[in-house]
């Protein structure tokens, strides 16, 4: 079965705190892709990152960083020094192999950053 | 202009009515998708298409149909809308194993 679990439904932090959003996935495929998307209050879905199953290097982009660990089937997302503009729903998603790029989404984590 | 455009952005319709949601893209991608978002459930795939001759059912296709009129156009129809189809609908496009790019969403309410 293919599945993505985001166990944290809602997280509330104060500005400048670091916060980690957890993502655990299930797939029997050896080739797959993992994604994070951001959905701000305006409602659109914004692509943040794509990671393929053969690349376990951590990635950093400004205040954002991602930790991919195949051993624990996790692809966690950390925001350093959070800001109010980071308030959004964040989705982790999985694309198994097969050529169609179908996304399997987690339920999402709602992050509220308070001033 | 947005790369992936959905119309309408908001729609209220009555139970039993037929409604069509339209999507067009300028990214030149061959793959197009329709997803539905419900609170607490994330997004779920309704239909997807590899090209104009290729239409496939997703996880929750019952009650929906689609038409791929051209590489750039993919429409979703609700033949007879029911209240539990009230949701936020997203169209998306992608290239091979690339990221999916989403439209702005259509908020549909069935009363």
All residues of chain B having their beta carbon less than 8 Å from the beta carbon of residue A37 are: 102
Q: What is the pLDDT of residues B76-104, one digit of tens each?
A: 999 999 999 999 999 999 987 678 899 99
- Min Cα distance A14 → chain B (Å) is 24
All residues of chain B having their beta carbon less than 8 Å from the beta carbon of residue A52 are: 97
Q: What is the pLDDT of residues B16-65, one digit of tens each?
A: 999 999 999 999 999 999 999 998 889 999 999 998 899 999 999 999 99
pLDDT at A97 over 90: no
Question: Which residues contact residue B44 at a Cβ distance below 8 angstroms, ignoring those fewer than 6 apart?
Answer: A105, B35, B36, B37, B38, B58, B59, B60
Cβ contact B100–A43 (<8 Å):
no
Q: Which residue has the higher pLDDT, A20 or B51?
A: A20
pLDDT at A63 over 70: yes
CA distance A93 to A81: 24
Residue pairs between chains A and B whose CB atoms are closer than 8 Å: 62
- Min Cα distance B47 → chain A (Å) is 10
pLDDT at A98 over 80: no
Q: What is the pLDDT of residues A23-57, one digit of tens each?
A: 999 999 888 999 999 999 999 999 999 998 988 88
């Amino acid at each position: 079965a293919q599945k993505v679990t985001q166990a944290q439904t809602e997280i509330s932090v104060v500005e400048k705190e670091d916060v980690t959003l957890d993502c655990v996935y299930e797939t029997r495929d050896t080739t797959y892709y993992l994604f994070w998307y951001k959905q701000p209050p305006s409602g659109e879905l914004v692509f943040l990152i794509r990671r393929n199953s053969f690349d376990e290097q951590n990635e950093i982009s400004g205040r954002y960083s991602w930790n991919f660990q195949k051993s624990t089937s996790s692809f966690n997302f950390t925001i350093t020094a959070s800001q109010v503009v980071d308030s959004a729903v964040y989705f982790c998603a999985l694309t198994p192999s097969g050529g169609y790029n179908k996304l399997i989404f987690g339920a999402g984590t709602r992050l509220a950053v308070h001033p | 202009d947005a790369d992936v455009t959905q119309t309408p952005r908001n729609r209220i319709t009555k139970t039993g009515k037929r409604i069509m949601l339209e999507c067009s893209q300028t990214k030149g991608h061959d793959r197009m998708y329709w997803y539905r978002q419900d609170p607490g459930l994330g997004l779920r795939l309704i239909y997807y298409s590899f090209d104009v001759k290729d239409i496939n059912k997703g996880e929750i296709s019952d009650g929906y149909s689609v038409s791929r009129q051209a590489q750039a156009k993919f429409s979703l129809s609700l033949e007879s809308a029911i209240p539990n189809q009230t949701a936020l609908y997203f169209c998306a496009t992608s290239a091979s194993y690339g990221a999916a790019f989403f439209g702005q969403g259509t908020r549909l309410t069935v009363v």
